[in-house]
Structure 1
Amino acid sequence: MAVPHYVYLKMKMPSTKGIITVSGDYKKSSAYAAASSRLAESLVIAAEKRLLDRVVAMAGKQPDMSPDPKDSEAEGSFKPAKETKKMPLDPEHPERYAVVGANLDSK
């Protein structure tokens, strides 16, 4: 049954002897907000650094990429399953279809 008033840093609640008012401190509130903002920023920076380290480590493990795109397409091209079928996506546009495996379960 408490009613917070964030602008005034006050909270009011009923009691058996009347209304209880709890007041806040603007200076402390501002200091805590600044500290939590710095903490959140440092956590985001740390998470982004870990992600960047992982990307750099993964890039180091990759073989050198060929400068000619046709060479890389020929050696690492996607190979579909042996038995496939074309599923129409839009009856009005037969050129739009998806290729799926012919032996997939209906589920």
Structure 2
Amino acid sequence: MVVPHYAYLKMKMPSTKGIITVSGDYKKSSACAAASSRLAESLVITTKKGLLDRVVAMAGNQPDMSPDPKESEAEGSFKPARETRKIPLDPEHPERYDVIGTNLDSK
């Protein structure tokens, strides 16, 4: 049965002797919001730094890659299956197809 009003930092609730109004403090509210914002920002920075460290560690295990993205794509480790089949996606557009391996497991 409590009614909060965040813009005015007021909360009202009924009691046996009438309505109780609890008032907030704008300075304290602002300081609390700023502190929680800094905490959230530091947590995001820590998480992103951890991800970046992980990527750097993974990159250290990779062979040297060319700075040219086209060369990197050509040197990629992905090799298509030897036995493949083109599956048409749209009969009206023969240029739209997918390539699948013919030796795929039924699972």
TM > 0.5 = yes
The alignment yields a C-alpha RMSD, in angstroms, of 2.4
**Mapping of 1:1-107 within 5 angstroms?**
1-66=1-66, 69=71, 73=74, 76=76, 78-102=78-102, 103-105=104-106
**Separation in structure 1 between the aligned mates of residue 56 and residue 34 of structure 2, nearest angstrom:** 33
Structure 2's unaligned 5+ residue stretches are none
Structure 1's unaligned 5+ residue stretches are none
Aligned length: 104
Dislocated runs of 4+, deviation >6 Å: none
Kindly tell me: are residues 66 and 46 of structure 1, through their superposed partners in 2, closer, same or farther at Cα, counting changes over 3 Å?
closer
SS of equivalent residue, structure 1 residue 31: helix
Q: TM-score, normalization: structure 2?
A: 0.79
Aligned-partner residue type, residue 46 of structure 1: T
Sequence identity, in percent? 80
